Structure 1
């Protein structure tokens, strides 16, 4: 039995297999996930697990060099935007229109779906390198 860290075997594997510049998407419950990428569906019920709880655990195990957010996040869900930025201090942020964001998710290695019901609670993590 794994002692600590992410216990979900699929999610743990996806993070371990992620290389420098690979993209991982952490999503709310509503973002359409492209068929061509792996889906790690953690959603249980509305709000569980929360997007920020999932993101917090993923970034404890994944080196992140940049994040990508939909431009609409800051306007529509300013508290969520602030919480995402605060969770990743000093990490460069790229923004793009939501439609372009959805298109960009097609390049991701995987999408990790939470049970979050907050609009635009989505982020693309660009994997960094630890050395």
Structure 2
């Protein structure tokens, strides 16, 4: 995380999110549900300035039009895009963190900001 620059993307994903060739992989999945996306998100947000967040439209649709509970930890209102587009965008990430989360569409792209 110390090497992220302005505009770099970090992805925190559920256990089923495909990780493309390219981004560095940090695999934290210990067992189903551990660690949860929200737990990893909180730790990452303590160290990262976030300019933008992106989630899949399906994550909101799955919760009857309400932001999923884990997204409340985000410091900005997340933009939304279809899951297939989301997966394509992950190819441009610097790093992808795989969690043990088993909730469908529990994935977020964080775009690094600056502190000044």
Q: Which has the larger radius of gyration?
A: 1
Partner of 2:8: 22
Q: What residue in structure 2 maps to residue 108 of structure 1?
A: 93
Q: Is the 8 A contact 1:77 1:118 kept in 2?
A: no
- 5+ residue gaps in structure 2? none
4+ residue stretches of structure 1 with deviation over 3 A? 77-80
Cα distance in 2, alignment partners of residues 56 and 74 from structure 1 = 20
Taking only aligned residues, the RMSD between alpha carbons, in angstroms, comes to 1.5
User: What is aligned with 2:39?
Assistant: 53
Alignment of 1:1-131 (within 5 A): 15-77=1-63, 81-84=68-71, 86-89=72-75, 91-131=76-116
Give per-residue Cα distances to partners, 1:19-53, cap 9 Å, x unaligned. 11100000000000011111000110000111110
Q: TM-score, normalised by structure 1?
A: 0.83
Instruction: Report the count of equivalent residues.
Output: 115
